[in-house]
Amino acid sequence: MLLKAINLEKGFGETEVLKDISMEVREGEVVAIIGPSGSGKSTLLRCLTQLERVDRGQIEICGKQMVTMNGEKAIYADNRTLHDIILDVGLVFQNFNLFPHMTVLKNIVEPQVKVLKKEKEEAQRKALELLDKVNLKDKAQAYPGELSGGQQQRIAIARALALNPRILFFDEPTSALDPELTGEILKVIRGLAEENMTMVIVTHEMAFARDVADRVIFMDNGVIMEEGTPEEMFSNTANQRTKEFLQRFNEN
Ligand code: ADP
Ligand code: MG
């Protein structure tokens, strides 16, 4: 298992956002997380990637304990372990989060130099290789603001890959894009799946989830309502909430 989360709970003030989430991800597996807006999907990804802390629960990533429980309290690992674990994960956001004042190339080089302490030349070689992979080698010297949303998102994916994560998380990678631009992102993600990249993808693209995911998790109101293979979830679900959610989707 590359990821193991047990009984995660997270609240903001009085609001319980994650109520009791347990999930596992195997090496090479692609897991899609679907569910209505406000169900806690982003919060879950943010907790798994250390942008938020859980209140209770256990998380193990790539064999390292990130959080354990001591009685009623969640205990986080020491800073060194937490930093090691950060290096195992990558996160691609809905809104790309590129550095606007840096060229595309620099956006991909800088984290490698800062985080992985790589030599600049080696980092540039890797960046150009990844730009080629996402079909944007000719944009190396452009600034993010000069690119389409779809191009910016492909840069963001290249930037995440530059740090060699063992698990890559995506939070609605296409939902800020015009429909005609989502295809190019989905194609990149599909290519990564073919290379057996381990990925957890929050998405509203049901056809894509069905096609690319090994397993689908349906989250609703802070809990995992149901999970299964795409076939089980999209064709044969017996769960009423899942049915309603998918039906609403088909109508839109
Ligand atoms: P989803 O990604 O499924 O739409 P989110 O995880 O973004 O859901 O949000 C789940 C709930 O948590 C929402 O009710 C949201 O308002 C609340 N929430 C998320 N982040 C914060 C925060 N930083 N402070 C307070 N409430 C938050
Ligand atoms: Mg969200």
The model's pLDDT over 133-172, given as tens digits with 9 standing for 90+, comes to 999 999 999 999 999 999 999 999 999 999 999 999 999 9
pLDDT at 83: 96
Burial of residue 250 (number of CB atoms within 10 Å: 0-12, 13-18, 19+):
exposed
pLDDT at 111: 96
The kind and range of the H/E element at 7 are: strand 3-12
Measured by CA distance, the residue closest to atom 7 of ligand 1 is 42
Q: Distance, CA 203 to ligand 2 centroid (Å)?
A: 9
Within 13 Å, how many C-alpha atoms sit on residue 58's CB side?
A: 12
Residues with CB under 6 A from ligand 1: 12, 15, 17, 35, 37-43
Residue 250 scores a pLDDT above 90? no
pLDDT at 252: 62
Q: Could you give the angle at which helices 179-194 and 149-162 cross, rounded to 10 degrees?
A: 20
pLDDT at 149: 95
Identify the bridge partners of residue 59 per DSSP, sorted by sequence position.
5, 67
Residue 39 CA: nearest ligand 1 atom is: 3
Measured by CA distance, the residue closest to atom 13 of ligand 1 is 38
Residue 52 CA: nearest ligand 1 atom is: 23
Q: 42 phi and psi, to 5 degrees?
A: -65, -40
The model's pLDDT over 36-54, given as tens digits with 9 standing for 90+, comes to 999 999 999 999 999 999 9
Q: Distance, CA 123 to ligand 1 centroid (Å)?
A: 36
Q: Distance, CA 15 to ligand 1 centroid (Å)?
A: 9
pLDDT at 251: 73
